[in-house]
Amino acid sequence: MQENIRSYGLIVRKKKILVCNEKINNFNATKFPGGGVEKNETPEDALIREIKEELSLECSIKLRLYSPGTLLSPWNNKLYTPIYFYIETKGNILIPKNENITIDFLTSEEIFNKDNVAQPEKKALENLIKLGKL
């Protein structure tokens, strides 16, 4: 079975965090930007590529926030291994037409109160707050 490693980035602007709204198996999920790690890619390389593809931003990875191990996705009942990073970005957000997402900037409280945000996302955000990055 092929591993499903996913890299996600937490982007902070004006004390709010960027989230992507995306339909996953008919579920309206709110998640941090990022995606799958491809063969011969590190999680960091994958995240840099995904941020460029999804948001048209250049990014630099500052630190790993959370890597809970392999989990069962509540959205599609498949195993995945998420890794969350605190990142800084340059450029203006431009979502390409082929990306089926919308974005919002939410406060940490808004994210914690959303039912459609997975628990690992919330834990990564808790760690970001504990580190004083928000």
Domains of the chain (ranges; CATH) run 5-130 (3.90.79.10)
- Each residue of 87-119: pLDDT tens digit? 999 999 999 999 999 999 999 999 999 999 999
- pTM score of the predicted model: 0.95
Nearest to 33 by CA among 131, 134, 124: 124
Stated length of the chain: 134
> At 122, which helix (H) or strand (E)?
helix 119-130
Residue that has been written with the tokens 């931003």 in this structure: 57
Ramachandran category for residue 107: left, alpha or beta (phi over 0 → left; psi -120 to 50 → alpha): beta
Count CA atoms closer than 13 A to 124's CA, side-chain side.
30
Average pLDDT score, the chain: 95
